[in-house]
Amino acid sequence: MRLIVAQTKSTPAVVLAILASDANPEVRNAVLVRISYDSDPAEDLLDVLANHANPEFRSDVADHVWTTADVLRRLARDTTTSIRLSVACHTSTPINALQELSGDKEAEVREFVRLAVAENLAAPAELLTLLQADSDPAVSTAAKFHLNATRI
């Protein structure tokens, strides 16, 4: 029954948030599918799932087109690398979160996060100017290209 409720389009966000922590992995997966493919999920559901213990839920929220700037700002500080990368790629990520991500010092993620920021269409010119001097050639090249492309 819980699986059917999770799959039902009219199920309220508050119920989906509860089902996201269900003991049955099929029910949890149904919630993931709902937020992944729902073109307009309830904002409060995305907000609740952004705090979920399971990084799969947080990752889907970070990738979702309807995720708000406030949620993206919070996810920019997530401990999971792939989530920070998704936030860096999201065109609705606020400038201050992009700036924070561009300074990511973790060796394994630095190149990917900074590169994603350099390629983000929402990145401001002043941030791209800073990234042009990045020690990683891929990041500096992407920032130069993006900065030059926005001037055309």
Entry field: residues in the chain: 152
Contacts of 141 (CB under 8 A, 6+ apart): none
- What does the domain layout of the chain look like in residue ranges? 1-67
Please enumerate in sequence order all residues whose Cβ is within 8 A of that of 92, keeping only pairs 6 or more positions apart, or say none. Answer: 65, 67, 68, 69, 72, 122
What are 101-137's pLDDT values in tens digits?
877 777 666 677 888 888 887 788 888 999 999 988 9
pTM for this predicted structure: 0.74
Query: Could you give the CA distance from residue 41 to residue 44 in angstroms, rounded to a whole number?
Result: 8
Token digits for 85?
A: 């990368």
What does the alpha-carbon distance between residue 33 and residue 10 come to, in Å, rounded to a whole number? 14
Give me 8's structure tokens.
């039902």
pLDDT in tens, 8-57: 888 887 888 888 888 888 998 888 787 777 666 677 778 888 988 889 88
Q: Token pair for residue 79? A: 């401990």
